[in-house]
């Protein structure tokens, strides 16, 4: 059961961070609208959390016959992604949008560093390699979605 919860937590946290940051940055660079960014965060928190939970549920069902473990992973994924996605709404509510985006990027990358550090230590691996790999992917997503937002704002004006 503990493994099932770990799977759901690590998947939900990583997906929640990268998906929410990507959406936020893309919407910010494309619209600069607090309303649009907040709507995106809330949509990700609900729809994408449910989608990812169903995806992990089906993935786990395909390889695991223990229904309680499958459901533990499913529920853990949903709750983790939902909660961590919503944490990105706090800076948007408290600060101007540009500052909120910067705070959110720092917050998301910090969370990734922490979870990857803990994961590396648990696996008795060097943390730097794992942290670099996963934070690099997150930064790539942020850059690409920023550029997509700019492109979208130009093409669909």
What is the domain partition of the chain in residue ranges? 2-152
What is the C-alpha to C-alpha distance for residues 109 and 107, in angstroms, rounded to an integer? 6
pLDDT of res. 104: 98
What is the C-alpha to C-alpha distance for residues 65 and 63, in angstroms, rounded to an integer? 7
Of 55, 60, 51, 108, the residue nearest 84 (C-alpha): 108
pLDDT of res. 128: 96
pLDDT of res. 3: 87
Task: Indicate whether 64 pLDDT > 90.
Answer: no
Contacts with 107 (C-beta within 8 Å, 6 or more apart), sequence order: 87, 88, 91
Mean pLDDT of all residues belonging to the chain:
96
pLDDT in tens, 73-93: 999 999 999 999 999 999 999
pLDDT of res. 157: 83
What is the C-alpha to C-alpha distance for residues 16 and 88, in angstroms, rounded to an integer? 10
pLDDT in tens, 95-147: 999 999 999 999 999 999 999 999 999 999 999 999 999 999 999 999 999 99
Helices marked H in 32-157: 34-43, 49-63, 67-87, 89-94, 97-122, 127-155
Task: Indicate whether 1 pLDDT > 80.
Answer: no
pLDDT in tens, 17-40: 999 999 999 999 999 999 999 999
pLDDT of res. 4: 87
């Amino acid at each position: 059961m503990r493994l099932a919860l770990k799977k759901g937590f690590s998947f939900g946290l990583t997906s929640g961070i990268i998906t929410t940051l990507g959406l936020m940055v893309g919407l910010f660079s494309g619209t600069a609208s607090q309303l649009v960014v907040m709507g995106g965060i809330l949509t990700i928190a609900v729809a994408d959390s449910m989608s990812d939970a169903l995806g992990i549920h089906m993935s786990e069902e395909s390889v695991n016959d223990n229904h309680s473990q499958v459901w533990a992973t499913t529920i853990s994924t949903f709750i983790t992604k939902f909660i961590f996605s919503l944490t990105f709404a706090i800076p948007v509510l408290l600060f101007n949008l540009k500052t909120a985006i910067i705070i959110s990027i720092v917050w998301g990358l910090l969370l990734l560093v922490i979870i990857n550090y803990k994961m590396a230590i648990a696996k008795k691996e060097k943390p730097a390699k794992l942290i670099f790999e996963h934070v690099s992917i997150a930064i790539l997503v942020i850059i690409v979605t920023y550029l997509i937002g700019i492109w979208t704002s130009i093409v669909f004006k």
